[in-house]
Structure 1
Amino acid sequence: MNKKQLGLLAAGATAIGSMYGVKKLNQLKSEKSKAIDEEIEARYYGDQQVYLIGGGIGSLASAAFLIRDANFEGKNIHIIEGMKILGGSNDGAGNNEKGFICRGGRMLNEETYENFWDLFRSIPSLEMPHMSVTEEILNFDHLHPTHAQARLIDKNAEIVNAHKMGFDNKDRAAMSKLLATPEEELDDLSIQDWFAPHFFETNFWYMWQTTFAFQKWSSLFELRRYMNRMMLEFSRIDTLEGVTRTAYNQYESLILPLKSFLEKHKVDFILDKTVTDIDFVEGSDITATAIHLTDGEVIELKSEDKVMMTNACMTDSTTEGDYHTPAPKAEKRPISGELWYKIAQKKSNLGNPAPFFDHEEETNWESFTVTCKGNALLKRFEEFSGNIPGSGALMTFKDSNWLMSIVVAAQPHFKNQDLTTTIFWGYGLYPDRVGDYVKKTMRECTGEEILYELICQFKWQDDWEKIKEDIVNVIPCYMPYIDAQFQPRKMSDRPKVVPTGSTNFAMISQFVEIPKDMVFTEEYSVRAAKTAVYTLFDINKEICPVTPHNRDPKVVAKAAKTMFR
């Protein structure tokens, strides 16, 4: 046998051994997983109760993970919500006569929302019961792909060639240096502390800023995390091809099926009651002993009970106007944030809410939802942009004083929206600035005035009287803390999901610290929920890790090439 034959034989033996090794490893993993499942199925929790403070997706996901992965009885799970409706920031409401409202639109991503898709694979669709919500969303999205053709629009109402990023060498050097700098060196730094003024005039910045709602004064390491986490999207930020959309608004597409699943498992929903305080044991341990409610009711906790708290909500304290009325100023700090302030003073390791909720002038922006009779205005958008409703994602007027953007979703966007009604949503990142055409700040404007400013940005003001004949309502929504999670901060200002020293207490929200992941996403809340449940209930299963697209040589090469477009 010659050397070549010996080499082939050795290679074949190695391949067979490798295949056997992989097979054996998979078998061992399967056996371990089966053993874990059997141990969890055999658990007996007795009269143990779990209290989830807040009715947003974090609490709802926690309840679902408790049922699915901890084999915990739904009747012993209690979700306490201060509003009369569940959903938190995943909202959507209204009717054809008075108009619809979405405070915002939550973009999803097929390649990066690992725990989100895992959760909703367990939740049956309401409209297609043979499908999971994950299958329903991805099927819809694949049939309605996103490819924006008018991502940026200039002051002359001309579509900008947004494929060009617009970086100079200083911008590229600063971006590269940022990605290589450890987070620990970026405490309290803002984006404008790092980049030169030219960076904020690039097409990239206008697109990145309005896609994710960053401001110049936002946290530098939040930008760093986004750049690493979303590096796959960097090369297609101009078309937003990576955006995954739900068939309807997020309340109907996500919250209602999740709520239905929990109802079938007899989860207890306590609505219209606000938690005002939490008692803890004396000493260094973090053990919750009682929950206080607004009506004076106190829930005494047994030693085995667990508490998971939404420590803040970015849409708290929002106000709404209408066609003839501006959205009023918020009168107080967010209720959820107030609870965080109280407990943070009682125990160390519970974070510091001050950087997030003491700077309303930096954390606010304003959205608006337009309801129309017929589709004449949406047809105008389609002819202008080349995108049918649902295919274009954001259109941003980069030179507008309010930095206005609009999104035209696939119609209908609400289940009760009739065939003669259309809607679209928009927002302004600078609501405290005077408009280009309406000489008021956006916050001072009625819904009619906000729409007029938008129509003027398109240079359609000569048709204003005709356009407004079809308007049912324009609902402005002022959100004083919508960008709070992006505020410059120390690493210690956000608490861990399960703080050091905790025996029965966790925090789940956009204001907890999860290494490598990025806030202002559905994934962040769901990952926090799974982390809380798995830690407090000692579930020895893997939490889907952050996909390291920033370490994929092909993705990195494509991103590097994009910096020179």
Structure 2
Amino acid sequence: MPHAHNTSDHSARKPEETNAYLVGGGIASLAAAVHLIQDAHVPASQIHILESGPVPGGSMDGAGTAEKGYVLRGGRMLNFSYLCTYELLKKVPSLTDPKKSVKQEIDEFNAVPENKTNAHARLVAKGEKGPEILNVKHMGLNTQEREGLLRVVAESEKSLGTKRIDECFTKEFFETKFWYMWDTMFAFEPWHSAVEFRRYLHRFIHEFPRINTLAGVDRTPYNQYDSIILPIKTYLEAQGVEFHYDLDTKVNSVSFAPASTITVIEIHYVSKGGATGIIHVQPHDLVLITLGSMTACSSLGTNTTPPAPQPDLETRAKDGSWGLWASLANPVINPHFSHFGNPANFYTRGPESAWQSFTVTLKNPEFFQKIEGWSGNKAGTGALTTFKDSEWLMSIVVPHQPHFLNQSEGTQVFWGYGLFPFKNGNFVNKPMAECSGEEILKELLGHLNFPEHPTLENAITIPCMLPYITSQFLTRKYEDRPKVIPHGSTNLGLLGQFVEIPQDTVFTVEYSVRAAQMAVKELMGLGKEMKIPDIYKGEHNVKVLVDALRKLMS
């Protein structure tokens, strides 16, 4: 009886008989596909990736041309502690040299002395004569603030519960150098979850001593779409994985077998023309669904127009991956709803989870020459520069050039973001959310005290409003996030930023990759054949702990 599988029976799955349906085309699904081929030996032609967007990659995107401007909705930092991600990248051949892995390519890039990150202008204040680069060797914390940090670190997640970060500290804490560096490095807001903040303090304790230089950050040779997603996609296509994307398969629900176990038997989708379709799933097949999306409902502006204003997000959330998750957690249509968390906690709080990014394409070298001279950092070595007195709390990253594989000669690209897009700017008297790209660049030039010309007329700045970008940081109850393998599941795994992986940190590539590895290992019954690296715990290393405490006391 096929429906009598239980969670402990995953060892019975035969790779040659297994079809794997991966719903969502982000890094989680792509990682799962690589591990299904290499660790579980599922034939690549039996792996199907269903994605309603125009290309795979999910939130790790990057596209554009010199004529129309390049776009990166987000940027992410890699770190030696991303053990699962680096394990994955060892398995994928580089695009430029098939004898090398993507991991080797990244290692070689970061080993070049000129590419090493060492920020000389991490925090910038508004000085009397213009921008002032702050000395950030010290954290700027007083005794009470240090004690507050240590208290949060020591407290249990259960006792912190649904507390916000600003319920654990005084107002002054949010004006310390430590907070400005920490919150812009990871994109925390004062109203975000104290539990997530605590996890970051534990997980990234090894970054404390170099929070001011960001020397622990690994960079990719190009943007992460070109350096990570494209090689994985190219590898999977060459192996024979079946990709369905560009709106021909928008999955809106799944059906379960009428049994006490969770066994998916149908995947329901809508095609581009509006026709509905069903994929029949056998009990020995696998279904892996990416829940939610941090870049859903994002809207792009242009150099001359702001991003479209956000409609009522509560109604929009029924779209795409949020809509699919909402259907899984709906008691009316899913008898197993209680195992699927509470998506509404994350998609109905747009003002708490939104911020705005922007990508600048330059056709004149003056800005780069000026920023390199002013900051003392060559492009690609400065990581993040934060303007702490900016009403938008604006930060920029000036990467190594070229930043895109197809980047035209004579162009430069950089990226930035503002954590407070609904406040009026310091130089442009309106909210960032209502600004055109040109106005955002004007605001930045004002903070730097750089002349507007010739930069403005030689730049294309594309703003991007991201209503859900930090939704995974929102305060939550423990049960709001479902497990990677729901209790009683025989063939369904859940992936992405909204599943629960104890002790690991959301808003990292690592979280998505780890969830994919957990799902493949468990559902394919791989046991000892597939080893998933333990979560890196720097606090178990005495030297790391001593160095972190020394920095904290500075």
Using the size of structure 1 for normalisation, the TM-score is: 0.91
Q: Using the alignment, how far apart are the partners of 1:64 and 1:303 within structure 2?
A: 22
Say yes or no: does 1:93 pair with 2:50. no
Map of 1:127 onto structure 2: 96
| 1:456-471 mapped onto 2 (5 Å cutoff) | 456-460=446-450, 463-471=451-459
Where 1:339 maps in the other structure, the secondary structure is helix
Map of 1:317 onto structure 2: 297
Map of 1:139 onto structure 2: 108
Q: 1:266 aligns with which of 220, 237, 240?
A: 240
Deviation at 1:169, TM superposition (A): 1.1
Deviation at 1:439, TM superposition (A): 0.8
Deviation at 1:184, TM superposition (A): 1.6
Q: Which runs of 5+ in 1 are unaligned?
A: 1-39
Q: Using the alignment, how far apart are the partners of 1:434 and 1:183 within structure 2?
A: 36
Deviation at 1:264, TM superposition (A): 1.7
Deviation at 1:46, TM superposition (A): 4.3
Deviation at 1:281, TM superposition (A): 2.5
Where 1:264 maps in the other structure, the secondary structure is helix
Map of 1:15 onto structure 2: none
Determine if contact 1:317/1:335 at 8 Å carries over to the other structure.
no
Say yes or no: does 1:560 pair with 2:537. no
Determine if contact 2:15/2:41 at 8 Å carries over to the other structure.
no
Say yes or no: does 1:227 pair with 2:207. no
Using the size of structure 2 for normalisation, the TM-score is: 0.92
Identity %: 45
Deviation at 1:163, TM superposition (A): 1.5
| 1:125-524 mapped onto 2 (5 Å cutoff) | 125-143=94-112, 144-156=115-127, 157-271=131-245, 272=247, 273-294=249-270, 295-331=275-311, 332-333=316-317, 334-345=319-330, 346=334, 347=336, 348-460=338-450, 463-471=451-459, 473-524=460-511
Deviation at 1:268, TM superposition (A): 0.5
Q: Which amino acid aligns with 1:106?
A: R
Q: Using the alignment, how far apart are the partners of 2:97 and 2:155 within structure 1?
A: 47
Deviation at 1:300, TM superposition (A): 1.4
Q: Using the alignment, how far apart are the partners of 2:320 and 2:295 within structure 1?
A: 11
Deviation at 1:44, TM superposition (A): 4.4
Say yes or no: does 1:48 pair with 2:24. no
Determine if contact 1:322/1:447 at 8 Å carries over to the other structure.
yes
Deviation at 1:469, TM superposition (A): 2.9
CA deviations over 1:415-448 (Å, ceiling 9, x no partner): 1112200011000000000111111100000000
Q: Which amino acid aligns with 2:99?
A: H
Q: 2:87 aligns with which of 118, 127, 136?
A: 118
Where 2:133 maps in the other structure, the secondary structure is coil
Q: Which amino acid aligns with 2:102?
A: V
Where 2:339 maps in the other structure, the secondary structure is coil
Map of 2:523 onto structure 1: 536
Greater shift, 402-411 or 335-344, is seen at: 335-344
Where 2:107 maps in the other structure, the secondary structure is helix
Where 1:292 maps in the other structure, the secondary structure is strand
Q: Using the alignment, how far apart are the partners of 2:348 and 2:382 within structure 1?
A: 36
Map of 2:8 onto structure 1: none
Deviation at 1:467, TM superposition (A): 2.2
Q: Which amino acid aligns with 2:518?
A: T
Deviation at 1:336, TM superposition (A): 0.9
CA deviations over 1:501-543 (Å, ceiling 9, x no partner): 1111010001111111111111111000000000001111321
Determine if contact 2:364/2:454 at 8 Å carries over to the other structure.
no
Determine if contact 2:266/2:280 at 8 Å carries over to the other structure.
yes
Q: Using the alignment, how far apart are the partners of 2:22 and 2:475 within structure 1?
A: 28
Equivalent pairs, count: 521
Q: Using the alignment, how far apart are the partners of 2:321 and 2:518 within structure 1?
A: 21
Q: Using the alignment, how far apart are the partners of 1:279 and 1:151 within structure 2?
A: 51
Where 1:235 maps in the other structure, the secondary structure is helix
Deviation at 1:283, TM superposition (A): 4.5
Q: Using the alignment, how far apart are the partners of 1:45 and 1:164 within structure 2?
A: 55
Deviation at 1:335, TM superposition (A): 2.0
Q: Which amino acid aligns with 1:77?
A: I
Q: Which amino acid aligns with 2:35?
A: F
Determine if contact 2:362/2:455 at 8 Å carries over to the other structure.
no
Deviation at 1:329, TM superposition (A): 2.3
CA deviations over 1:79-127 (Å, ceiling 9, x no partner): 00011111001111001111111111111002x1001111110100001
Query: Is the radius of gyration larger for structure 1 or structure 2?
Result: 1
Determine if contact 2:16/2:42 at 8 Å carries over to the other structure.
no
Where 1:279 maps in the other structure, the secondary structure is strand
Determine if contact 1:550/1:556 at 8 Å carries over to the other structure.
yes
Distance change >3 Å, CA 242–CA 103, structure 1 → 2: same
Map of 2:30 onto structure 1: 60
Q: Stretches of 4+ moved more than 6 A in 1?
A: none
CA deviations over 1:382-403 (Å, ceiling 9, x no partner): 0110000000000000010000
Deviation at 1:284, TM superposition (A): 3.5
Q: Using the alignment, how far apart are the partners of 2:295 and 2:309 within structure 1?
A: 14
